Structure 1
């Protein structure tokens, strides 16, 4: 099968899988920091949270399917310096949360709204430390885009690939210091030696489950 045929087959299967997905709680829990796990699935708190969206932006490069992660700058906040998916908070001028994900992707990494084809979305996830409810959106663009980073929002771009999500060697644990100073051991993805944990790891854990389901049907 040619690269293009494989890409088309994969994105078609992924779109169908995203439509069929009802809840990713079990997959999210696999990579959840334990101290606040109950808060993260408190739907009443999520209803009153600020709304936001992030983008898993897939593209093919040679024989690999990749997606970008960003390193947040250091700032006085609970997510300072963390690795995240492109995204941000809902604005009153946004049509919906899918538009929020597209707009923030354009602002943060320079990929235009009209370049991205939305394939679907994952389960929403509540983040207690910042009181945000996140909608993860999955989009695609055929080839590697020309990334242009917004310096005030992005310190560094990290390119990840799909196989690492289901690579057991990439799932590790380490001691982390929470925003309130508490030290705990948390699960994380090792991406190019970087620690991807918290909400981002939980979102990617659900996505990994879907990718594994698609691969198992081949």
Structure 2
């Protein structure tokens, strides 16, 4: 997943502040070394959160230091990997007779011989970014992304 967390009113003035603070806390990139270039659409989750994803640039030489309490591993994946459709898969899941997509990327890391599955909201945000910025259509599903109303209905359905 990407760095992120909850808005802290005693520390953050805006959600952009939250994104910068969480990035600094989780992977050690000082706020002053991040250039925010935009923001994607809010993304409601089934766990009743709304994610506001910010896009930022850092130097490719920026040292990343993980907070061991919050981050298991830092994985650098080249953007070309995500653009190659062979690395992408998707499934649909049904809730209350509606279909919703779940996206997956399986990344083989040659440095350590491990395969990592990037999926769920993280994969969806990456795919959405590629579609907006690179004009690349990755997903083929006719299923749609859930809206906030879908999430509310789903929670009523699951009670």
Q: TM-score scaled to structure 2, two decimals?
A: 0.70
2:57 to 140, 145, 149: 140
2:107 to 165, 171, 191: 191
1:120 to 26, 34, 38: 38
Instruction: Note the residue ranges of structure 1 that are not aligned, 5 or more in a row.
Output: 1-83, 177-184
Return the structure number with greater relative CO, CA threshold 8 A, min gap 6. 1
Asked whether the 8 Å contact 2:102–2:124 carries over to 1, the reply is no
> Residues 211 and 175 from structure 1, CA distance in 2 versus in 1: closer, same or farther, beyond 3 angstroms?
closer
Alignment-derived partner of residue 155 in structure 1: 72
Higher mean alpha-carbon deviation, 185-194 vs 153-162, is at: 185-194
Structure 1 residue 97 corresponds to structure 2 residue 97: no
2:24 to 75, 84, 106: 106
Q: TM-score scaled to structure 1, two decimals?
A: 0.52
CA–CA distance in 1 between the matches of 2:56 and 2:15?
A: 13
The correspondence of residues 205-216 of structure 1 with structure 2, limited to 5 A, is 205-213=127-135
CA–CA distance in 2 between the matches of 1:100 and 1:86?
A: 10
Alignment-derived partner of residue 202 in structure 1: 124
CA deviation string 1:132-191 (max 9, x = no partner) = 100110011233211111010011111011112221111024799xxxxxxxx9430122
Asked whether the 8 Å contact 2:103–2:124 carries over to 1, the reply is no
Q: CA RMSD in A?
A: 2.2
Instruction: Note the residue ranges of structure 2 that are not aligned, 5 or more in a row.
Output: 94-100, 109-114, 137-159
CA–CA distance in 2 between the matches of 1:119 and 1:205?
A: 18
Number of corresponding residues: 122
Alignment-derived partner of residue 52 in structure 1: none
Q: Which has the higher helix share?
A: 1
Secondary structure of the residue that 1:210 maps to in structure 2? helix
Q: Give the superposition deviation at 1:112.
A: 0.2
Divergent runs of 4+, >4 A: 173-176
